Structure 1
Amino acid sequence: DPLTNVYVNDTNGKSFGPFNLAVNESISFYYETNPVKDVNNTATAEGKDSDGDKVGPVNDWASVEIYQVPVFPELSIVKDDSQDPVIAGKKLTYTIHLANAGNAPAYNITVTETYDENFLYVNATPPPDAGTNNRWTFSVLREQRSIVITVNGIVLDNGESYIENVVEFTSDNGGSGRDTETTTVIPPPSPSLEIIKSDTPDPIEAGNELIYTIILSNNGDANATNVVVKDVFDEILIITEADGGTVEGNTITWNIPSLTPGENVTFTVKATVKIVDVSMVITNFVNATCIEGAYAEDTEKTTVNPPPPMGNPILEITKTDKYDPVSYRGDVEYEITVKNIGDADARNVIVIDKLPKGLNYVYADPIPDEINGSFIMWQFEKIMVGEIVSISLITNVQTFGELINRVNVTCDEGAYDEDNETTSVIEDNEPPYTKKVFHGEVHNVSIWGIYTVHYIPKSTYITLKSKDYPIPGASGVNHTYYRIWKWNVSNSKWNLVFGWKEYHGNIYLYKLASYGKYEIEFYSIDRVENVEEWKWNDVYVYETEDEIPDE
């Protein structure tokens, strides 16, 4: 039968009903309590059938054992990075999450960062403790709460492939923990230069055109700026086309404002090879630099062969000055070199040097065959194939300014060459400077901080070394003079060992007058009669080291 007027009650005082309950029907009731001790709960149900008769009561019970949940904080720390990977030299941000997943507060928490040596701290939110950049102190972190720390910095470009930062925490009641974050570091974008130099033809016959091709490429991932290409060529090349480059001396220079990644430029250099008399290999060097520091270089070797024999002499003459500039009223030393680079002997070779105004002949080796004022001539019966003749010519300057001295060479076979040398003439108004040099043991003793006495054994000798000024342009030291005194202990006077005389070699004081104290005086004169003020020094030749005062 169905039931009506059904009630359900339990020992907690809960009551449900009245309600009807059909045949085979069931119904459930739910409620919550917060007991603090063990529970035994009995439920009672009763109702009426279709005749109105009471049904029940019926009972059921359940028991629950109550236990206390522990109360404690549960701290954890996690560290993340952004960007990863990071480009060296760029910003890196660390985010630190400190969380309390427990059911009680954590007290007196200290968070400490250990930065990688290649991480440069910039700032943090919240700011670290005063006087630090890596420590944060929190008095309390409530249960189910968290704290976020953000640290910003720069990854230094020291060639590292990764950096590693460690964060740790300690607390009074939440224990300790740590986390490590490893960040991959990639190098910053940079240019990478490559330069290739090739030649054609190779080998080449002297006298013909040689072509170099230079290809410069940027194989990096960043622009190369202010690119400078320098090509150093051999002295036997005469550059006829530099493809926009600047030729200075034996170097061609190109300037490129910018070379983008993957871009390349090509330079074509044309040159005429000078005549040579023997086969040789020349080496040309090229390099490229840019403001970012990228560098590349290459070399190209070329075999140069002499032209086929023609049966004729080829004369080559050069003239160089030994010193430049030189002084007014001083000497100019020239070196004249004559070479026969042909394939036949040169006969009746005539070398003529015409001295410019203000330049007077002094001496030559070999002696000229004719001297007529400024006209100087040497005659050689024959200069054989490959032979080199050298002439040394000394002249005296009687003017200021630029002197251009010309020389030429001819022979009966019709070969001809010429050269000139420019020499600057300045005024030498400075005297020489002379100093003494000890060869052997010497002890330098300061006397009252005013001057120095040199103590030497008898084996030590002295030389005088002179140098003329200005440099360049000195006329040269002409004479050095010296004289020597010796102290007479018995009468406390200086005795002259010898008077002024020209210096010619080593000075052994002991051999002059045995042991004792000497005074050496010296000075020099240059070729234009600038006179140095004479200098002096006391030198003591000792017999035993006991004679040397404390230094």
Structure 2
Amino acid sequence: DTDPVVAGEVLTYTITITNNGPSYARNVTLTDNIPDEIENPEFRYRISSNGGTTWGDWSDWSSWSGSYNLGTLPNGEKFEVEIRGTVDPSTLEGSVITNTASVSSDTEDPDEGNNTDTEDTGVITRADLSITKTLAKDTNLVETEIEYTIEVKNNGPSYARNVRVMDEIPEGLLFVSYTSTKGVYNPNTGVWSIGDMSDDEVETLKITLKVMDYNPIINEAEVVSDTTDPDTTNNTAVSDKVVDVEDPLIKGTVPREGYFEFFVDREGKKWLLRIPDRGYTTGWIPFVRLRDTENFMTGYYSDRRYYLKFNWYSSGRCSLIFNDRREGIGIKYGGR
């Protein structure tokens, strides 16, 4: 009853058997070897004793075995059968399903040319892909790691072919690692190549990234495939959270080292100093001493390599002395 039919949806065949007489047809048998593309076929039937003017009630649906014995069919009686089944969701676009039905009886038939009929049905594919993206591991500190979780689902009804997700790493984030339940993620192109997905299949990608920028970062992902998607409104996902880390507590420019940034993790009592143009960073280091009030902060750190001392006031006034003895880096800064 549908041509073309969508892979993964139900296809129904209607077969009408008529005894054109003049005699009763004895031991009438309908044979229909349903094609392999049709899954879980079932049938029902109804009878008209007046040539189709009125019909009796439909029978209940029953599993179709390939043939059914109608018994005796009087002259002028019609027997209508519906056979339905789900088209295999993996059936390829452009395929043709060929189904042949035939009827026979023990009574001699003067015209066997109308005892067989064949129906060809074209197949198209449709796969509704959806995607969600969440920031599963959050942070408010620069140069610490976050983790995005991307989930893709094929809502069917057909298989989705050559599924891929475009998730280019935004500026300000540095790739660390990934894990996926299927396929391969290329951090250089930002493409997660999943491959084919069956109907109702769900796959997950987790990407670990290091936050390198303290400006707000929004990350978006999009899923596509070679199969026509009937609903593209759910093919794009933006992370449920914006990556927005703490700004530098002190930043400035000094003659020898150039521009620097100094960050403080007040909760974890750690500090980090970096010189972006030189690719230099200390990483996060715990303070030896930190005094932190609402309007004033002072801290100190010293070991065989580093020396740090700073003062910061809520008014904007600040001072910082830093030395990296191994790298020969020295900063002495005072300002607002």
With the length of structure 2 as denominator, give the TM-score of the two structures: 0.40
Larger radius of gyration: 1
Q: Which one scores higher on RCO, CA 8 angstroms, separation ≥ 6?
A: 2
